[in-house]
């Protein structure tokens, strides 16, 4: 729906500032001629009394970030035109139409804000002279709307050296003697209007972690203390949309502050494909007796349930999920046909219009997710009103099933994509560590944008960690797909992205290209076959050295990553461990384990005595999987305890195993000589063994 905005500033892919965001807004060099932050040893960040509270909150983050970087003191203060002059060189922050301060600045400086005026989530920031009475100069950050301003602030924070992941992945903040805001810093409308994540499948990892960290052991884990961290992360990533945890969580019930807090921060809340009308379903439905979850037989009760849902959130920024599915990711009963579902949607829109006191629902953001069987209703002719976003889905494995056709691209609601980095369901879960290839994400999401699916992108991120970089890449594409679109041998934007990301996170520019290679290879190699689907014969043990080559490649990656890890300052090691080294180590262990057990099984069939030492090795490797998990959990005094609780070895069916199980190993009779004699000769490329001393014959 929204199209990329024409850029005010050009940008280079390789830049000195620690950021992978808009452009060169920050310099640490006095010769840049920029606006020096806290040049007097302290600085004031001014906001108007009528500013969005969420902008004021973000200005606090911004002040704290810059204080940390510069070791100087930035404070946020309310100001009017007449009180602003307490500082001769303030930073003035505000939202067009929501800030008397910004109105005054624009009025007195004649600053051209036409590029952002009336736009979605855009901002412009630059130095101005004499913006207000008694103020010599100021740096102004002006947003087109609430999130526009917030994104401007976080843009400056990131470029100054505060990673969006400073807390979630312990990326250290680099200290700078001086920070200069340079030139004009700006970003227009995003490619995709709603860009977000779905925290899902949250047991055992994030739920146990949240329970430990935010509840003192009692109460719902996903409370406002938990979500404050999520909301801030999303805004720093310039995302705006969230499907909250719903396996065992109920966003609006678990903590009544959750909904209010999201709106305060500036996060647009949604609910997943099976939770219509802003209620966590089935959990909320089952809180008390309401009869069957059936709109045909139990319409009054279902309607009342939905009315309550909309009334609860009508004052918050919300995209309503329409439609109806069965409980537990299952279709409704067969008798529920398209006509009934159309009745459901019609009823839902009537509820919306009624609660919002509007003649119709067409201006209220709504979405209908065409996930799994729901897509077939659409294909069979079911339609929803034009203003409802149609959210197309991937096949759960990263391949988008269907893009909007030519004649579907003029809908006012537009289209979007529901994508998966994590999945629970048939034929098998994948929910441990990163196994979606970055190139795949690039190819699918740029294609989605090209085909007009730009109203909403949401990705299932499971426990959130450890998908940090993949999440950022997904959101970055959604914010500005054109920036990352071009790929060619001489313009590898994915390599540029990951390299810039590595530079920002680890501040080791000489190694950033190599780290990018490691991360890309890690996702590429894991995507060949996800950990959960590996077994002892996935890679051939006899043909073309396939398994040996795979394991050798992991070994090589591991030793290169290890060398980088050891070269890093201790303050950067935790971030590198979480973001790069752990997934390489963890994947390497799993590959080594299946390879070793595969060899063990094969060698047993070949009556080779080394079968038994391979069995012993397998046990050691299996134990090292736990040791690595334990290392993750003990990191930084247990900050991320439970985040690697996810079982990943020994799937028996689609659902996660209740414990990790070592693939089964054989042992051969160690004290008994093999029938064919003490020496076994195996022909390369053969499952068998040459039998030297006799020929088995007949009966």
- Per CB under 8 A, residues contacting its own copies are 200-201, 203-204, 247-248, 274, 328-329, 396, 420, 422-425, 429, 460, 601, 604-607, 611, 619, 622-623, 625-626, 629-630, 645, 647, 649-650, 652, 655-669, 671-672, 674-676, 680, 689, 691, 694-699
Q: Considering beta carbons, is residue 178 or 208 the nearer one to its own copies? A: 208
Rounded to whole angstroms, how far apart are CA atoms 647 and 201? Answer: 13
Q: Taking the complex as a whole, how short is the minimal distance between the CB of residue 565 and its own copies, in angstroms? A: 24
Q: Taking the complex as a whole, how short is the minimal distance between the CB of residue 683 and its own copies, in angstroms? A: 15
Q: Taking the complex as a whole, how short is the minimal distance between the CB of residue 270 and its own copies, in angstroms? A: 16
Q: What is the DSSP letter of 530?
A: -
Q: Considering beta carbons, is residue 114 or 695 the nearer one to its own copies? A: 695
Rounded to whole angstroms, how far apart are CA atoms 163 and 500? Answer: 12
**In this structure, what token pair is assigned to residue 161?**
């050296």
Q: For the CA atoms of 355, 358, 359, 362, what is the dihedral angle to 10 degrees?
A: -100
List C-alpha distances in Å: 667 to 6, 490, 600, 615, 623: 67, 53, 8, 7, 19
Burial class (CB in 10 A: 0-12, 13-18, 19+), 6: exposed
Q: Taking the complex as a whole, how short is the minimal distance between the CB of residue 450 and its own copies, in angstroms? A: 27
The SS3 of residue 528 is helix
The SS3 of residue 459 is strand
Q: Taking the complex as a whole, how short is the minimal distance between the CB of residue 697 and its own copies, in angstroms? A: 5
Q: Considering beta carbons, is residue 20 or 199 the nearer one to its own copies? A: 199
Q: Taking the complex as a whole, how short is the minimal distance between the CB of residue 360 and its own copies, in angstroms? A: 32
Q: Taking the complex as a whole, how short is the minimal distance between the CB of residue 282 and its own copies, in angstroms? A: 9
Q: Taking the complex as a whole, how short is the minimal distance between the CB of residue 699 and its own copies, in angstroms? A: 4
Burial class (CB in 10 A: 0-12, 13-18, 19+), 569: exposed
Q: Considering beta carbons, is residue 516 or 668 the nearer one to its own copies? A: 668
- Please spell the DSSP secondary structure of 596-625, one letter per residue: HHHHHHHHHHTT-TTHHHHHHHHHHHHHHH
Q: Considering beta carbons, is residue 454 or 600 the nearer one to its own copies? A: 600
Q: Considering beta carbons, is residue 510 or 698 the nearer one to its own copies? A: 698
Strand partners, 419: 459
Q: Taking the complex as a whole, how short is the minimal distance between the CB of residue 28 and its own copies, in angstroms? A: 44
**In this structure, what token pair is assigned to residue 376?**
């077939």
Rounded to whole angstroms, how far apart are CA atoms 400 and 437? Answer: 14
Neighbours of 510 (CB within 10 A): 8
The SS3 of residue 571 is coil
Q: Considering beta carbons, is residue 2 or 609 the nearer one to its own copies? A: 609
Q: Considering beta carbons, is residue 121 or 645 the nearer one to its own copies? A: 645
What residue has token string 């894991």?
526
Q: Considering beta carbons, is residue 170 or 429 the nearer one to its own copies? A: 429
For 356, phi then psi, to 5°, come to -80, -5
Cα 44 versus chain centre, distance = 33
Q: Considering beta carbons, is residue 418 or 484 the nearer one to its own copies? A: 418
The SS3 of residue 393 is strand
Q: Taking the complex as a whole, how short is the minimal distance between the CB of residue 86 and its own copies, in angstroms? A: 53
Q: Taking the complex as a whole, how short is the minimal distance between the CB of residue 136 and its own copies, in angstroms? A: 56
The SS3 of residue 221 is coil
Q: Considering beta carbons, is residue 1 or 459 the nearer one to its own copies? A: 459
Radius of gyration of the chain from Cα atoms?
28
């Amino acid at each position: 729906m929204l199209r990329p905005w024409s850029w005010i500033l050009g940008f280079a892919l390789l830049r000195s500032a620690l950021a992978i965001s808009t452009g060169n807004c920050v310099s640490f060099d006095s010769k840049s001629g920029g606006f020096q932050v806290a040049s007097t040893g302290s600085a004031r960040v001014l906001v108007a009394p009528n500013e969005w509270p969420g902008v004021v909150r973000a200005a606090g983050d911004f002040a704290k970030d810059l204080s940390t970087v510069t070791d100087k003191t930035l404070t946020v203060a309310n100001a009017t035109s007449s009180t602003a002059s307490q500082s001769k060189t303030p930073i003035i922050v505000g939202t067009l139409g929501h800030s008397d301060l910004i109105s005054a600045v624009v009025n007195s400086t004649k600053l051209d804000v036409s590029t952002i005026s009336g736009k979605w989530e855009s901002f412009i920031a630059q130095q101005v002279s004499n913006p207000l009475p008694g103020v010599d100069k100021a740096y102004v950050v002006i947003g087109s709307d609430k999130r526009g301003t917030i994104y401007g602030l976080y843009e400056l924070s990131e470029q100054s050296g505060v990673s969006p992941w400073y807390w979630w992945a312990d990326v250290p903040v680099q200290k700078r003697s001086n920070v200069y805001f340079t030139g004009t810093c700006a970003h227009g409308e995003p490619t995709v209007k709603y860009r977000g994540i779905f925290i899902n499948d949250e047991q055992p990892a994030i739920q146990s972690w949240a329970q430990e960290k935010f509840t003192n052991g009692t109460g719902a884990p996903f409370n406002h203390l938990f979500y404050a961290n999520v909301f801030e992360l999303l805004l720093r990533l310039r995302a705006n949309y969230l499907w909250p945890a719903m396996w065992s969580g109920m966003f609006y019930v678990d903590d009544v502050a959750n909904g209010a807090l999201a709106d305060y921060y500036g996060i647009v809340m949604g609910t997943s494909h099976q939770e219509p009308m802003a209620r966590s379903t089935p959990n909320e439905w089952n809180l008390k007796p309401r009869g069957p979850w059936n709109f045909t037989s139990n319409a009054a009760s279902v309607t009342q349930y939905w009315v309550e849902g909309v009334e609860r959130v009508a004052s918050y920024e919300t995209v309503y999920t329409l439609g109806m599915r069965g409980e537990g990711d299952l279709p409704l009963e067969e008798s529920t046909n398209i006509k009934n579902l159309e009745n459901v949607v019609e009823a839902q829109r009537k509820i919306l219009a009624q609660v919002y006191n509007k003649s119709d629902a067409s201006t209220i953001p709504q979405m209908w997710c065409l996930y799994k069987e729901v897509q077939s209703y659409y294909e069979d002719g079911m339609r929803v009103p034009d203003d409802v976003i149609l959210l197309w889905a991937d096949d759960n494995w990263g391949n988008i099933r269907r893009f909007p056709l030519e004649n579907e691209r003029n809908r006012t609601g537009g289209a979007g994509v529901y994508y998966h980095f994590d999945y629970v369901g048939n034929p098998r879960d994948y929910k441990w560590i990163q196994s979606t290839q970055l190139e795949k994400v690039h190819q699918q999401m740029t294609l989605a944008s090209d085909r007009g699916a730009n109203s909403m992108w949401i990705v299932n991120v499971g426990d959130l960690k450890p998908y940090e970089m993949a999440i950022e890449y997904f959101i970055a594409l959604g914010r500005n797909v054109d920036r990352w679109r071009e790929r060619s041998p001489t313009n590898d934007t994915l390599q540029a992205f990951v390299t810039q990301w590595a530079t920002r996170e680890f501040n080791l520019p000489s190694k950033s290209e190599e780290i990018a290679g490691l991360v890309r290879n890690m996702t590429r190699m894991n995507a060949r076959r996800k950990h959960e689907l590996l077994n002892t014969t996935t890679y051939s043990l006899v043909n073309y050295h396939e398994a040996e080559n795979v394991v050798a490649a992991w070994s090589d990656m591991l030793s290169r990553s290890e060398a980088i890890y050891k070269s890093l300052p201790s303050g950067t090691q935790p971030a590198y461990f979480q973001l790069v080294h752990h997934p390489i180590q963890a994947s390497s262990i799993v590959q080594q384990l299946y390879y070793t057990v595969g060899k063990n099984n094969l060698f047993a069939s070949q009556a080779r005595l080394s079968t038994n030492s391979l069995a012993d090795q397998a046990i050691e490797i299996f134990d090292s999987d736990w040791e690595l998990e334990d290392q993750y959990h003990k990191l930084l005094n247990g900050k991320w305890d439970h985040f690697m609780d996810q079982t990943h070895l020994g799937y028996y069916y689609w659902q996660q195993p209740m414990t990790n199980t070592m693939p089964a190993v054989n042992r051969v009779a160690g004290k008994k000589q093999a029938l064919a004699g003490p020496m076994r000769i195996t022909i390369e490329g053969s499952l068998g063994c040459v039998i030297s001393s006799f020929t088995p014959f007949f009966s």
